[in-house]
Amino acid sequence: MRILLVEDNRRLSDALRRTLEEDGYVVDTAYDGVEGEDMALISPYSLIILDIMLPKRDGFEVCRSLRDQHVATPILMLTARDALNDRVTGLDSGADDYLVKPFEVAELRARLRALLRRESDQKSGSLQVADLKMDPSTHYATRAEQPLDLTAREYSLLEYFMRNPNRLITREMVIQNLWSYDKTITSNVVDVYIRRIRRKLDDPHEVKLIETIRGAGYRLRDPER
């Protein structure tokens, strides 16, 4: 999952970026409202973390502008002020949730998972496709009750597929969602990761879940749907 973090406090931004990357997210950072809005308009994100007190353009303005331009990406607002008016203004501006500084990392993680569930076909805390199961809160995945030994990138790729079961996923979609904007990635890199996941996910089993759509991309097939 690819996240845009718009926070002008560079120490906090760096700490949050490291934490989120350890959790398997791909994180792009911006340090003012104008830069953050531009990045949100240019690249597709699974979620935006948006501070309110930003240079050049505050978070309220950025959020309203993005919604006016039909950007539907979930937005979690960060505020150092716990005033009711700030929370109401943020939500009325189009934010989906808010978090008051200082906050515990565990709460941030839980709120991110909740927002991502809203955008997914699967609304429970865990993800399941056929006998493939994943718990995003623990990064534990199994197939037929057997644990899958996945790298961080493989886990992120599989999670992306599980949040979009039975949908065509192109190589370009994978690159846009799983690599930061400053990385140059070729489509064959996606094929390499797909092959790695297939060896772990499908090779030991008769029923294959990952399909190749020739000339288009891949699909995680749920035989029960």
Q: Strand, helix or coil at 58?
A: coil
Tokens of 159: 């999670």
Distance CA 212, CA 49 (A): 34
Say whether both 67 and 175 belong to one domain: no
CA dist list (Å): 128 to 81, 111, 213, 222: 38, 20, 22, 9
Higher pLDDT, 61 or 79: 61
Say whether both 101 and 190 belong to one domain: no
Decide if 70 is inside a domain. yes
Q: Is the pLDDT of residue 122 over 60?
A: no
CATH number at residue 76: 3.40.50.2300
> What's the domain count of the chain?
2
- Yes or no: say if 51 and 95 are a contact pair by the CB < 8 Å rule: no
Say whether both 96 and 13 belong to one domain: yes
> What is the per-residue pLDDT for 89?
86
The parent domain of residue 199 ranges over 127-220
Of 101, 119, 137, the domain-final residue: 119
Say whether both 72 and 137 belong to one domain: no
Distance CA 190, CA 175 (A): 7
Higher pLDDT, 119 or 8: 8
> What is the per-residue pLDDT for 91?
86
CA dist list (Å): 26 to 11, 65, 160, 225: 18, 24, 12, 30
Decide if 225 is inside a domain. no
Mean pLDDT of 17-40: 93
Q: Percentage of the chain with pLDDT > 70?
A: 94
Of 100, 119, 138, the domain-final residue: 119
pLDDT tens per residue across span 70-104: 999 999 999 876 677 777 888 889 999 989 988 99
